[in-house]
Amino acid sequence: MVGGAYASVPLYKAFCQVTGYDGTIRRAKVAPGETLSKTLLIRFDVNIRDLPWSFTAEQASQTVRIGETGLAYFKVTNHSDHAITGHAVYNVVPEQAGPYFQKLECFCFSDQTLKAGQTIEFPVVYFVDPKYARDFETQNKPEVTLSYTFYPAVPGASTNSKAIKSASGLGGTPSTGL
């Protein structure tokens, strides 16, 4: 039973990512071939939990056409004197948008290690599936909020800056300094 309890967490996470259940965003391999004229306002929300980092969205919101690939940038700075590894979790609101909001590339797909004082800009490549416009639960919802929260990858652990590789966001530009 203990093994079943441990196995249930990754299985539940995988289920949510495949189905979009509970507002969980899906990971996509390709963008849709259809772009609609209908637009959505995508808002960006960022949070930090138990990390000496700052985390900002380079834009508060974007307007994109449904089916169009969007590109948003996020900046993360480690304000500590040692390297730290964090992991971003994400969600969308309204929850009904979860199955339709999909990401092609995201810093949230893996742990991110930032050296002391390092700043990295991470892009997120996303789209909203055209089925969003045809679903009775979402067709009249003109905006979606994408929310991220960075947590320590290992709660309470600090990392040895000499023994780790630093993150270098997809197309991102690592830099040092506060």
Enter the pTM of the model.
0.73
pLDDT bucket at 162, cuts 50 / 70 / 90? very low
d(CA 178, CA 172): 17
CA dihedral of 8, 10, 13, 18, whole degrees rounded to 10: -100
Q: Using the predicted structure, report yes or no on whether residue 20 has a pLDDT greater than 90.
A: no
Please state, as a whole number, how many other Cβ atoms lie within 10 Å of the Cβ of residue 90. Answer: 19
Domains delineated in the chain: 2-176 (2.60.370.10)
Q: What is the pLDDT at residue 38?
A: 96
CB atoms within 10 A of CB 105: 17
Q: Out of 16-20, 116-120, 138-142, 157-161, give the one with best mean pLDDT.
A: 116-120
- What's the rounded mean pLDDT across residues 105-125? 96
